[in-house]
């Protein structure tokens, strides 16, 4: 019964953002004007992961939230993308860190295929973008410019050839790590292995610069962030991260890194997940995980008992929540340290739980609420435009310029392991 109630509650949030109706009409008109002239570009959405895990890789039924069958409601569909004024979206092609080598390359190709299939299935709503100019053109046509982000360096399987092929297929950023360290860089959520990036990792970044692929530092350790900033010739991005000074989660960006962004030109795209935004929720989430681990030990082999006991704990310890202001707080902290030119949006929708975002922000319709809050705080149209997508367009154009300056350099051929002359396939 509790499961059904949770589903019903989640579904009640799917169709859109009722709270958006409370935005003052004059404020809403101002938001509409800003987002018509500047595309709102979100750095990270996990729709492809949801379609793989819960819908058999099918891209059917994405016209509106009411099209999807109950059980695993989505935060994203075509109707709501337009309601939220989304002008550009990086679709994550995530695979777990545990999948490595050739299997990682295959699974990433399957995820890219999901993105390409839903872009093709909804031609009136989506169009694949490869350049900053493409984003502007597609947005002006009233569609959502669709780009691809590879969410972990493990996904190239140690192969720079795979990196190049992902770029040719449309990938315009790669996150250097995910939850675990990989062959060349340390993750924020793993014990240090290299204390940053190794020599192969430096070659990976240089090859990304040569291609024009953005270096994404979400999920990486502070040491990896520092090394990447030392190495990259192009601006970096944090596709879905928050400010560590406000919430001490290892996934967030420390102030010393924010201080380096003006020199690099990069941008932090703020995440909507309360576990990264707000200490009370982060503590609750840790306690929830601890309870799950305890129940797994106490009731091994009794999944029904574990489920019932966890439901009892959740009833006694409901998840705390807070309003959209917490997102604005992180945005303003990044602005305070790095400046208005170095902040954007990367909300991680369809990659976070429904109760893991502030009310109204668990759908792609929620962006106007955030803009209304920032307008209440006195933000100018110019700075709201930078936040929406202006900063990301600048970063992408600079990366394209760096790639053009490196066009005479040959593709990198470094390998993780020495080549055996008797085995040409290694």
pLDDT block averages, 10 residues each, the chain of length 426: 36 38 91 98 98 94 79 92 98 97 97 98 98 98 98 97 98 98 97 97 98 98 98 98 97 98 98 97 95 96 96 95 97 98 98 93 97 98 98 98 98 75 41
Kindly state whether residues 140 and 257 are assigned to the same domain: yes
Quick one: pLDDT at residue 67?
72
Kindly state whether residues 178 and 306 are assigned to the same domain: no
Report if residue 410 sits inside a domain. Answer: no
Tell which residue, 242, 245, 202, 243, has the closest CA to residue 226. 202
Quick one: pLDDT at residue 415?
83
Quick one: pLDDT at residue 12?
40
Quick one: pLDDT at residue 14?
38
Kindly state whether residues 174 and 304 are assigned to the same domain: no
Report if residue 286 sits inside a domain. Answer: yes
Name the domain count of the chain. 2
Quick one: pLDDT at residue 72?
82
Quick one: pLDDT at residue 424?
39
- Cα–Cα dist 274/254, whole Å: 17
Kindly state whether residues 134 and 259 are assigned to the same domain: yes
pTM: 0.92
Quick one: pLDDT at residue 355?
87
Place of tokens 């430096």: 202
Quick one: pLDDT at residue 66?
72
Kindly state whether residues 158 and 302 are assigned to the same domain: no
Kindly state whether residues 270 and 293 are assigned to the same domain: no
306: buried, middle or exposed (CB in 10 Å: 19+, 13-18, 0-12)? middle
Domain span at 394? 24-274+322-405
Catalytic residue list? 44, 46, 151, 178, 219, 240, 348
Partners of 126 in the beta sheet?
144
Q: For 27, left (φ over 0), alpha (ψ -120 to 50), or beta?
A: alpha
Kindly state whether residues 333 and 313 are assigned to the same domain: no
Kindly state whether residues 47 and 172 are assigned to the same domain: yes
Tell which residue, 240, 319, 239, 238, has the closest CA to residue 276. 240
């Amino acid at each position: 019964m509790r499961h059904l109630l949770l589903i019903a509650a989640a579904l009640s949030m799917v169709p859109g953002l009722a709270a958006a109706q409370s935005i003052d009409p004059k404020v809403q008109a101002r938001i509409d004007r800003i987002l018509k002239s500047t595309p709102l570009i979100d750095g990270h959405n996990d729709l492809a992961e949801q379609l793989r895990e819960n819908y058999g890789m099918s891209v059917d039924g994405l016209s509106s939230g009411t099209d999807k069958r109950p059980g695993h409601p989505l935060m994203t569909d075509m109707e709501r993308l337009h309601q939220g004024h989304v002008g550009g979206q990086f679709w994550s092609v995530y695979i777990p860190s545990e999948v490595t080598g050739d299997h990682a390359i295959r699974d990433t190709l399957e995820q890219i295929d999901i993105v390409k299939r839903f872009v093709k299935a909804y031609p009136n709503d989506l169009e694949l973008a490869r350049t900053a100019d493409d984003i502007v053109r597609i947005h002006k046509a009233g569609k959502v410019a669709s780009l691809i982000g590879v969410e972990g360096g493990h996904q190239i399987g140690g192969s720079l050839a795979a990196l190049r092929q992902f770029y040719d297929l449309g990938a315009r950023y790669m996150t250097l790590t995910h939850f675990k360290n990989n062959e060349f860089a340390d993750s924020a959520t793993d014990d240090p292995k290299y204390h940053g990036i190794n020599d192969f990792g430096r070659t990976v970044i240089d090859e990304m610069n040569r291609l024009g692929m953005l270096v994404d530092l979400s999920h990486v350790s502070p040491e990896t962030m520092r090394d990447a900033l030392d190495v990259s010739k192009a601006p970096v991005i944090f596709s879905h991260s928050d400010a560590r000074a406000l919430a001490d989660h290892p996934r967030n960006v420390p102030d010393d890194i924010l201080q380096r962004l003006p020199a690099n030109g990069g941008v932090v795209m703020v995440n909507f997940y309360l576990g990264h935004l707000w200490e009370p929720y982060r503590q609750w989430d840790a306690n929830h995980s601890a309870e799950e681990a305890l129940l797994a030990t106490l009731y091994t082999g009794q999944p029904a008992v574990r489920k019932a006991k966890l439901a009892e704990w959740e009833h006694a310890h409901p998840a705390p929540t807070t309003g959209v202001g917490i997102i604005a707080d992180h945005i303003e902290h990044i602005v305070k340290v790095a400046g208005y030119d170095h902040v954007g949006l990367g909300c991680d929708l369809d990659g976070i739980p429904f109760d893991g975002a502030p009310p109204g922000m668990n759908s792609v319709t929620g962006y106007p609420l955030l803009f209304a809050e920032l307008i209440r705080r006195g933000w100018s149209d110019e700075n709201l435009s930078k936040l929406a997508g202006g900063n990301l367009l600048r970063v992408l154009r600079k990366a394209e310029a760096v790639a053009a300056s490196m066009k005479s350099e040959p593709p990198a051929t470094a390998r993780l392991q020495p080549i055996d002359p008797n085995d040409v396939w290694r």
